[in-house]
Structure 1
Amino acid sequence: MDSRPRATDDNPPPECPMHRGRQTSLYGEDFAADPQRVYDAFRAHGPVAPIELAPGVEANLVVEHEAALRVLQNPALFARDSRRWNALQEGRIALDSPVLPMMAYRPNCLFTDGTEHLRLRKAVTESLGRLNASRLSRDVERIADYLIDQFIERGSADLLNDYAKLLPLLLFNQLFGCPSDIGDRLTRNMSAIFDGEDVLRANAELTACLMELVALKRRVPGEDITSWLIQHPAGLRDEELKDQLVMLMGAGVEPERNLIGNALLLMLSGDTPGSDRAGTGMLVEDALNEVLWDNAPIANYATHFPVRDVDLGGTILQAGTPVLISFAAANSDPALTDARRTLSKGAHLAWGAGPHVCPAKSPAQLIALTAIEKILNVLPDVTLARPAAEAEWRPGPFHRALVSLPVRFTPGAVRHTTTNGQAQSASLTVDHVGPAPTYREASEPQKKTKGWWSSFLDVFRV
């Protein structure tokens, strides 16, 4: 039984923003280290709490499951179009704010409502529906093999930064049909945006390389998501095409990285004190479901804007102010005790709910499942290099993301090699002429420093 004193209106907990009369930061290291402490304090006071997402960026966070569903399932009252954001329109949000790329309006199905949202979402869901599960698994396995070969001889690795972070970035290059140069730039700039590094420059370069990709695929279509979006009857304009791709990558790369990393941490943690190796035989599917409940890869997001002042559980949410859903807090709501006891797959909100529910739930789970099974099969004796309790979590308001996941294992041989036994990093070049990439043997090693995507293309025929 919880013996902690219960907070009241007259005696709120010290960490509660109501106690201090100001917003609680969601971007500091203290929050990253123990977010549930903050969520518990918020919930003790009510279903919504004032927060600060970044310096000068104020918002409200919904922390109760029932209230979250009320917002998510009521698009007539809570809109997603961030052009309603009063503080941004009035110039009170710095244009270089690290949260702006995740919150500013783009003409994609994440930030639109009504018939426009339906038009864009139909194009996205039907294009994703053309993905073949077997091909997707094969693509994940090839990328996983390539990444594992970069560290298998060392006997140690950081499975977050060497594997879980890079795999979805490279996979989306594959799914988008990126040539080498565009793929390298896409990978580099999307990583910078997620890490909050020089976001204005990264966003501009990301826009430029995606517009190049759209122009290329209009001329030379292929069997890829970019081409399918172009061909869709919705008739998307170039700007809309570019922003559906940004949305797909943003909604797929960061959450997928965290889903893979958080599940690997859980599986390698073990059940007994001091154990750093999974000894319980936990299935990957069960680990993924547990992570979606307890360490949701995207913890706080789904920004809404009330179209008028709204009373939500006794808190007045003013029109035009950001209202975010805490999927993590909603999942740990004590009101869900019975559902959580059985880990009901249908009760958690990690995939969202309502008209903006994640359209890629099945592919996302397949990607994570394949990536985790691959690393555990190739490195059967992998163990954590430090206790799970010492894991560091990356500061930031939106995600539940590890800083690193260091592991040890028995060193092995690189599996994909050239005839001289060296890792195959420059034995193939790609010639993007014609309806699909074709490959030819290189006459000599390329001198140009390669990015991750072009290096991958050099190893595997994709």
Structure 2
Amino acid sequence: MLYGPEFAADPESVYRRLRAYGPIAPVELDPGVPGMLVTDYDVALEIMRDQARFPRDARRWQEGIPPECPILPIMAYRPTCNLTDDPLRSRLRKAVTDTLDRIDPNALRTFVERSADRLIDRMSPQGEADLRTDYSFILPLLVFNELFGCPAELGDRMVDAIQEVLKWENSEEANMTLALCVLELMALKRENPGQDMTTWLMDHPAELTDEEVAHQIVMLVGAGSELAQNLIINTTRLLLSDERFAGDLSSGSLLVEDALEEVLWTDPPLANFGATYPVESFDFHGVRLPADQPVIISFAAANNDPLTRAEDRVGNRAHLAWGIGPHVCPAQGQARIIATVAIEKLLDGLPEMELAVPAEELTWRPGWIQRALSSLPVRFSVPPESAQAPPGARYPVTEPGGDTPTAPSATEGAPASQASTPHVPARWWRHLANWWTGNAD
């Protein structure tokens, strides 16, 4: 089985046992929910490139899944470019990639730097911190609030809901909360459009429906914020615990990029996903694949397939952490910028940083989709004459006369809107909420 603390603590031992079944192994995704897990690198490549035999549409599968099943909100069909097939996939992906292409990488880097500096300024007088709750969780949230033109309080609620969905506890309720947050953001941008991804998606020539826009936002914010925080934390853990890196944390960006690439090979933040659903049963590489049963790609297991693993991976980007083929991650460039800059700023801003507990005592959050630490406690030197950071806000706050940590998200221009939430027609709101939960009228 892929659920529970045992899998989270040592997934590699589970992958080793599953390889005895061949390139694809039967697994239990949740109590009573079977699936097939791909652990072979070459077979994973073949599946991800074959849309005809391995479609992404989950609707036939989810007909037999109880609505209270905690993995359903994560795996259920949504009209997003990563969970649909052509021709819809191509139209949605065009809107997403065009929107991402409008983000200026230099402006994004500047905003990440400013936000990181403010978070580090709040941590540095303490001499210790949990880098997950104090840094890696908050930083991507600030970035995505900016990119989507989302007020901080609304963004806070949105990412909290995503966190609850990924815990697989009360995920049905959290899924509805997430839907309402996204609809609220869309209503705000409909009345107050700006230079932000929400507005660009709504105005794209592909003419996405309201439902389609809402689901692309969830995909981008959910995957982006959760996986960015995991990539930051997993890479920082490696830098602080592996003797190949820990001896020289002052060597600059090349060191960070090498460590980040190592994590994408060994501990990718999205460990198992890319679910496909064969519409009929057939034999594939000596394994019988049942119809309408999930075939999950284990990016982590395939990356470390003993038959294809290379000992020297420096400069090698042939891992599967971003996916491959028609569903390859469209935002990997932005994710690299966020993670690399965030880690570089940590190493520069917290001198003599070290783990506060032995690396083997760190614990991982339950769940088979993400590879995520529960916490990353560290110690570091306190700068001389460092003022006590003010308690309170979850986000970096702007003192009177201070600089707001806001940089243009795409073109030189507007910060995220702080306008009050506009009135939303009840009928429009109810229609979209019903659509989200599969009860569209």
TM range (shorter): 0.7 to 0.9
- Contact 2:363–2:375 (8 Å) recurs in 1: yes
Distance (whole Å) between structure 2 residues aligned to residue 336 and residue 144 of structure 1: 38
Alignment of 1:315-330 (within 5 A): 315-330=287-302
Match of 2:376 in 1: 405
- Contact 1:73–1:355 (8 Å) recurs in 2: yes
Cα shift at 1:277 = 6.2
Matched, 1:89 2:63: yes
Cα shift at 1:218 = 2.1
Q: Which moved more, 1:183-192 or 1:111-120?
A: 183-192
Match of 2:6 in 1: 30
Matched, 1:389 2:370: no
Match of 1:368 in 2: 339
- Which of 52, 61, 67 aligns to 1:76? It is 52
TM-score, normalised via structure 2 length = 0.85
Q: Which amino acid aligns with 1:57?
A: V
Gaps of 5+ in 2: 391-395, 405-413, 420-441
Alignment of 1:441-456 (within 5 A): none
Structure label with greater radius of gyration: 1
Match of 1:459 in 2: none
Cα shift at 1:189 = 1.6
- Which of 229, 233, 250 aligns to 2:222? It is 250
Distance (whole Å) between structure 2 residues aligned to residue 438 and residue 352 of structure 1: 33
Deviations 1:121-167 (A, max 9, x none): 00000100000011111221222223223322211001122111221
- Which of 279, 303, 306 aligns to 1:334? It is 306
Distance (whole Å) between structure 1 residues aligned to residue 153 and residue 361 of structure 2: 39
Q: Moved runs in structure 1, 4+ residues, more than 4 A? A: 275-282, 414-417, 423-430, 435-440
Distance (whole Å) between structure 1 residues aligned to residue 243 and residue 417 of structure 2: 49
Distance (whole Å) between structure 2 residues aligned to residue 140 and residue 276 of structure 1: 24
Match of 2:434 in 1: none
Matched, 1:210 2:186: no
Match of 2:423 in 1: none
- Contact 2:105–2:334 (8 Å) recurs in 1: yes
- Which of 87, 91, 100 aligns to 1:119? It is 91
Cα shift at 1:411 = 2.2
Cα shift at 1:343 = 4.1
Match of 2:103 in 1: 131
- Which of 153, 165, 168 aligns to 2:140? It is 168
Distance (whole Å) between structure 2 residues aligned to residue 408 and residue 277 of structure 1: 16
- Which of 131, 141, 156 aligns to 2:113? It is 141
Match of 2:324 in 1: 353
Aligned length: 401
Distance (whole Å) between structure 2 residues aligned to residue 41 and residue 402 of structure 1: 23
Distance (whole Å) between structure 1 residues aligned to residue 387 and residue 169 of structure 2: 33
Distance (whole Å) between structure 1 residues aligned to residue 171 and residue 401 of structure 2: 33
Q: Which amino acid aligns with 1:312?
A: F
Match of 1:312 in 2: 284
Gaps of 5+ in 1: 1-24, 418-422, 441-462
Match of 1:63 in 2: 39
The 1:197/1:141 distance shift into structure 2, 3 A limit, reads farther
TM-score, normalised via structure 1 length = 0.81
SS of corresponding position for 1:306: coil
Matched, 1:259 2:231: yes
Q: What percent identity do the matched residue pairs reach? A: 48
